A and B are shown apart, each in its own frame.
Chain A
Amino acid sequence: MLKDITLGQYFPGDTIIHKLDPRTKLILVIVFIVALFLAVDWISYAFMFVVTALCVKVSTIKLKSILKGLKPLIFIIVFTGILNLFYTQGGTVLFDWWIFTISTAGIKRAFLMIVRIMLLITGTFLLTYTTSPIALTDGLEMLLNPLKKIKVPVHEMSMIMSMALRFIPTLIEETDKIMSAQKARGADFSTGKITERAKALLPLLVPLFVSSFRRADELAVAMESRCYHGGEGRTRMNALHMARRDYLAFLAGAIVLGGMIAMNIYGI
């Protein structure tokens, strides 16, 4: 079923990571990415690995869920690994055939690159796994607020984003339903030549578009009847505010970043 795909899915929970302000988490993810790219050698990578593992542990997100999220990206991971394996020179050559050369330096670099990508993905997943999409867009809107001064429509953009997120499950459900209904009339979505298959999608796409427009129209009317008039002067039901744990998290982030800078300077 289409419904079973994870789409930056949120796993509700009650850990300190879940409770952090979304702004804190967004900033810390950026800090995390910067720190990760400062890593140069075994020790700094090992340090980042431990930091990531610790965060996963605290968040109580199951390792299985993280691995499931990594699955669709396996191609990119393997591809990067192979590229680094063959294109890195140095160290002793272990294997040499035609244009393919594998050296000890290549193996090390390929391994570290794979670790880097996996940590990067895990770190960002941790954000979407522990933060509800609504909190995330709210946080993003507030972080980008200063851009309003230069006429960037921050509120509108975040409204569009949170609505899109809100309607993804609805749209998937609807797709499922229309697909079943057309299959009941003998439509066939899975066999035939590519042109036939593209044509077979028409009975799915037309009703889907029609209902999306209808939904958008209904939503606009519903919002206007509740006096929605854009972001100006609008207050929030759940206002975001920083707590002590957020300052502690920033402190931890600063320490990690400082440590990584130091390790980067010493090249370890």
Chain B
Amino acid sequence: MDAVIRVENLTHTYSVGTPFEKTAIHNINVNFYPGELVAVIGHTGSGKSTFMQHMNGLLAPTSGHVYCDGEDIFATKEATRDVRFKVGLVFQYPEYQLFEETVYKDIAFGPKNMKLSADEIDERVREAAGFVGLSEELFERSPLELSGGQKRRIAIAGVIAMRPKVLILDEPTAGLDPGGCEGIIKNILDYRERTGSTVLLVTHSMDDAARIADRLVVFHEGSIAMDGTPDAVFSHPTELTAMGLDVPQAAAIAQALRERGVSLPQSIYTLEQLKAALVPLRKGEN
């Protein structure tokens, strides 16, 4: 299958030529395929956000290339602008970018910049609001007077409304309560199922990564240290710990049980798998 996004030898250095020069990502090669849900994990400062901002042309590489649908997104100015609508990026703490008087207008900001017709914009706004579970009663409220979780949903809807082929979310659940986190993850899964778009999700939650991702990409000190199925990645707990990362709770519990002599299969990293492995054991004892 052809990759939607192909990244070749991507390097980015901040503040080149000053005393504060800092290479945030270094020589990255990776492909993302249509319909994938990829979780990107990595320690704080490992370069995840820097990397993501290259995918829609917000940061220009110091060296290397990014191709979207086979086209170099930095080849021309037009290409860089077009890719903004193809690859939707939701920033960390996106609620601080809300600015319009009403929720409706804020969600419509992206589609309006795409120069769509009024009807088309209206359809997209309603659809996007539906995806993130925002009721239409909120449309005429000011986004500034809503709760943090609602603001976050509005910001995500604002990006979804552009109907991007690739949706990138940078820690969409940071700072929300468990219920809020669960809600947003569910919205993202729904969205992906209904539209078949590619989703890249930056997260610090190993449990979420294990539960929902088809593929994990692990960043470490500006490079990709591991890339594979959750199964493959979480079967290297020592390496992950060395990189300052955890394994999912279910995997940690399974490991602790194994050390106490319970015989469990190797690939356990979600709660469901743990349950499936433990329940038969209890029946066996009885």
- Please give the residue numbers on chain A whose beta carbons come within 8 Å of chain B beta carbons, in ascending order: 1, 3-4, 174, 177-178, 180-188, 202-204, 206-207, 210-211
Contact = CB atoms under 8 A, between A and B. Distances in A.
A174 B98 CA distance: 13
Nearest to A180: B58
Contact count band on B: 20 to 34
Interface string B1-44: 00000000000001100100000000000000000000000000
Contact of A188 (B89, B98, B113): B113
B141 interface: no
26 contacts: A3-B15, A174-B96, A177-B96, A181-B94, A181-B96, A182-B97, A182-B99, A182-B109, A184-B58, A184-B84, A184-B90, A185-B109, A185-B110, A185-B113, A185-B159, A186-B84, A186-B85, A186-B162, A187-B109, A188-B113, A202-B99, A203-B109, A204-B99, A207-B98, A210-B144, A211-B96
Given A184-B58, A188-B81, A188-B113, A177 B162 contact: no
Interface in B83-132: 84-85, 88-91, 94, 96-100, 109-110, 113-114
Contacts of A186: 81, 84-85, 109-110, 113-114, 162
Nearest to A211: B96
Contacts of B114: 186
Given A184-B58, A184-B91, A186-B162, A203 B85 contact: no
Nearest to B164: A184
B15 A4 contact: yes
Contacts of A207: 96-99
Nearest to A205: B99
B91 A180 contact: yes
A206 B99 contact: yes
Given A180-B53, A186-B84, A188-B81, 4 more contacts: A185-B109, A185-B159, A186-B85, A186-B109
Contacts, number: 64
A186 B161 CA distance: 12
Interface string B213-249: 0000000000000000000000000000000000000
B158 interface: yes
A207 B89 CA distance: 18
A184 B15 contact: no
Interface string B138-171: 0000001000000000000011001000000000
B96 A184 contact: no
Contacts of A177: 91, 96
Given A184-B56, A184-B58, A184-B159, A203 B110 contact: no
A236 to B, nearest CB: 30
Contacts of A178: 96-97
Contacts of A183: 58, 84
A2 to B, nearest CB: 11
B158 A185 contact: yes
Contacts of B94: 181
In the A-B complex, the 8 residue pairs with the smallest Cβ-Cβ separation, listed nearest first, are A186-B113, A206-B99, A181-B97, A185-B110, A184-B89, A181-B91, A203-B99, A207-B99
A181 B152 CA distance: 13
Interface-centre pick from B58, B90, B96, B110 (highest chain A CB count, 10 A) = B96
Nearest to B158: A185
Nearest to B101: A206
Contacts of A206: 99-100
A178 B144 CA distance: 15
Nearest to B109: A185
Nearest to A1: B15
B216 to A, nearest CB: 24
Contacts of B58: 180, 183-184
A184 B99 contact: no
A186 B97 CA distance: 13
